[in-house]
Chains A and B, each alone.
Chain A
Amino acid sequence: MGVTILHQFPVENRTGPAVIELLTKRIAALGAVQHGQFLVDCETYSSVPQLGHQRTVHVLHNSEQPATVFSLLETGTKTIPLATDGLFDLLMMKMSSFYTSKKQTKAESKGPRFEIGDFCVKLGTVTVSSNFKGILVEVEYRPCIVPQMCWELMKEFLQGFLGSSVLSNPPVYFQNKMNDVYTPIDTIHQYLEHFTIFRKSPAGIRT
């Protein structure tokens, strides 16, 4: 598991498939080979009023860690991450009387997965309850586990095929974590941050 950066690629006035096609062409021209598909999905549950102070649980799956269910519990003051095995999904179903899923919030990002050198690139089409919302490009540099060490290198790679839409500073998520060891839960956090913004964006497309 290496450092992963999630980047939102501006759609402007193109369609989702057109952007994916454009990016696929670019990454293939650099020598990337497609290795299957990927999927990251997120469902959000809220505690019922009887439980008192409202808490929110986000449950996410990442096809890169197929045997793991990630969940993030928001208590209002802090966020508690949890990585469990597949049984957690069943547990959530059992608790449906305490935690109910908000309607129309199932978010997912899916699309082709590429490998190029030691990089892994995923071109995700984001939908929130089946409505197209935008494009998320995930780039993982697998040999390196500390963001501080490889940020410049990853920026160069990202700019190489995404152009000027890449910011010159690390994503906000990394602000206090540049020297920490990167773990899969960090990827989950990044997806959740993007999904939350996508859900709030009006009229579908976020630009």
Chain B
Amino acid sequence: MIKVENLRKEFKKTVKEPGLAGSFKSLFHPKSERVVAVNDISFHVPKGEILGFIGPNGAGKSTVIKMLTGILTPTSGTCTINGKNPTENRKSYVKEIGVVFGQRTQLWWDLPLRETYGVLKEMYEVPDDSYKERMSFLNEVLELEAFITSPVRTLSLGQRMRADIAASLLHSPKVLFLDEPTIGLDVVVKDNIRKAIAQINEREQTTVILTTHDLADIELLADRIVMIDKGSNVFDGTISELKSRYGRIRELHLETNTKNAEKALGYREHFHFSDDDLKVEQEGSSVKVRFNSDTVSVSDMLAYTLKMVNVKDISVKDADIEEIIRRLYRQGV
């Protein structure tokens, strides 16, 4: 369905030296410098899959989405969607896709929402009966009724985002690109939007590529994750693969009256943890220990802890995906 191979995008950027003198200098001798936003990215997405496309700020996610939607032309490499190249034959290509950029709207600023949908209906040649059916479905999951007669510029962020998502789904696209669709939304709206995406995906086998910084989106929606950093692939697989690949981080919580628990416990010396595999934080009497349970088993860790310090309360937690991703982002892999 979607094939991305060795995609690369460079930007030319004019650099200005600081200060007034620098401004004059760059007026006559503009220096330009190449920025590699996307270095080398490849992945495939089969029909009907929801792909979570993640990575730290500035990783190149939005740039990839822009190339996949035909807004930017790749410097090198190819992407094919449904056998089509986005930058060739743009008009027929964009008929088959839906796009939402969370940071900006695709709706006409001055038109009332209902009219906007009317325009989109004509544009995508949606027949009357399927348009009606579609609108009532979208109305139900995204609750558009309350503001459907207002001009877009008067909508709140959450209302606008719901309206935008409805707009991207009106023509039953085969592929849906969502770049941060839940940015700045309250929990209820987030829930509704996730529900809408899941339902559409199930009903119509819509292929979805989703970028987000809210990992709950990923956990609830994504069948698979592609993680990138500095424009290159870092990980490609399911969430459970991610968990098993990057070690089972566990979190040990204990209450103790020992002042410097880390020193008293001496995990590092005893178990020979590497720097990444152990982290101890203490705040008053509560101590948080994050460790890699592949290096040391949970039972060994517990037994050793209980032996070394006087413990009032203790509990062990499975580290969530957030913790794994935090570790990955921080290391830059």
Q: Do A and B bind each other?
A: no
Write the residues of chain B forming the contact surface with A, with a CB cutoff of 8 angstroms. Answer: none
